[in-house]
């Protein structure tokens, strides 16, 4: 009898991970399906967008989860950050993000900007303040300011604004999967919940 109980417990323990992986999520509860799908820009790959703002404490707290999760994404998924200027005052950070991308400094400075705002409490909410801060990290201030006001950056910033409007994003962080679904922290319940729901939708789109 004791052996039988032990074997049953062992099977339950082995099945628990599979049960958690098989969890389904419901449209309208953990995620939203758009009435009309939005065109993606990733070809045959499944597009995953992260809408964020550098000044958002929740986005900053989401970063460790996102970084860890990105490493687990399958080869058929393309992850793209979108610095969404939901509030007009956020546009300065949207343009700063794309300026750094054009300069090849995006990955190097991404974490530093978050830390400056949320850990060091630096008031980098203007073009000049951001340029001065980045200059302390080796980014050429003149080139940054020139690119910041360029047509290329302006176009990318407008596209980020339009994407947020198309996906009906009214808060960050938020995820969008393959032009069809959006996930908020409120819906998913936690940062980990957001990526768990995204995994579910990625599998759904991969079928």
CATH of the domain at 137: 3.40.30.10
pLDDT at 23: 75
pLDDT at 90: 98
| Contacting residues for 163 by C-beta, under 8 A, at least 6 apart | 38, 49, 51, 82, 84, 169
14 found inside a domain: no
pLDDT at 19: 47
Query: How many folded domains does the chain comprise?
Result: 1
Domain that holds residue 36: 31-206
pLDDT at 1: 54
What value does the mean pLDDT take over residues 31-59?
Answer: 97
pLDDT at 105: 98
Residue 35 has pLDDT above 70, yes or no: yes
Are 114 and 173 a contacting pair, CB within 8 Å? Answer: no
What value does the mean pLDDT take over residues 67-88?
Answer: 97
6 found inside a domain: no
Q: Which two tokens stand for residue 127?
A: 């073009």
11 found inside a domain: no
pLDDT at 207: 85
pTM of the complete model: 0.88
141 found inside a domain: yes
pLDDT at 22: 52
pLDDT at 202: 98
pLDDT at 34: 98
- DSSP letters for 72-130: T--TTEEEEEEE--SSGGGHHHHHHHHHHHHTT-HHHHHHHHHHHHHTS-----SHHHH
| Contacting residues for 154 by C-beta, under 8 A, at least 6 apart | 95
37 found inside a domain: yes
Residue % of the chain over a pLDDT of 70: 89
Residue with token string 């409490």: 121
65 found inside a domain: yes
Work out the mean pLDDT of the chain and round it to a whole number.
93
Query: How sure is the predictor about 9, in pLDDT bands with cuts at 50, 70 and 90?
Result: low
What value does the mean pLDDT take over residues 32-42?
Answer: 96
22 found inside a domain: no
CA–CA dist 30, 13 (Å, integer)? 27
What value does the mean pLDDT take over residues 107-136?
Answer: 98
What value does the mean pLDDT take over residues 49-76?
Answer: 98
CA–CA dist 39, 54 (Å, integer)? 26
23 found inside a domain: no
What value does the mean pLDDT take over residues 26-34?
Answer: 97
């Amino acid at each position: 009898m004791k052996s039988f109980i032990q074997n049953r417990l062992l099977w339950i323990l082995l099945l628990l991970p599979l049960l958690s992986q098989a969890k389904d999520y419901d449209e309208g509860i953990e995620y939203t399906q758009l009435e009309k799908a939005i065109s993606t820009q990733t070809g045959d790959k499944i597009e995953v967008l992260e809408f964020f703002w550098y000044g958002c404490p929740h986005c900053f707290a989401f970063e460790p989860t996102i970084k860890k999760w990105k490493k687990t994404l399958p080869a058929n998924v393309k992850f793209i950050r979108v610095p969404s200027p939901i509030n007009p005052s956020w546009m300065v950070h949207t343009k700063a993000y794309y300026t750094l991308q054009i300069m090849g400094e995006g990955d190097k400075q991404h974490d530093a900007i978050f830390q400056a705002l949320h850990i060091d409490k630096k008031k980098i909410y203007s073009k000049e303040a951001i340029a001065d801060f980045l200059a302390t990290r080796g980014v050429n201030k003149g080139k940054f300011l020139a690119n910041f006001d360029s047509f290329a950056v302006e176009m990318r910033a407008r596209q980020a604004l339009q994407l947020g409007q198309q996906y009906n994003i009214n808060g960050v962080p938020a995820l969008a999967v393959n032009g069809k679904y959006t996930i908020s922290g409120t819906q998913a319940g936690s940062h980990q919940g957001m990526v768990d729901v995204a995994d579910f939708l990625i599998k759904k789109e991969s079928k």
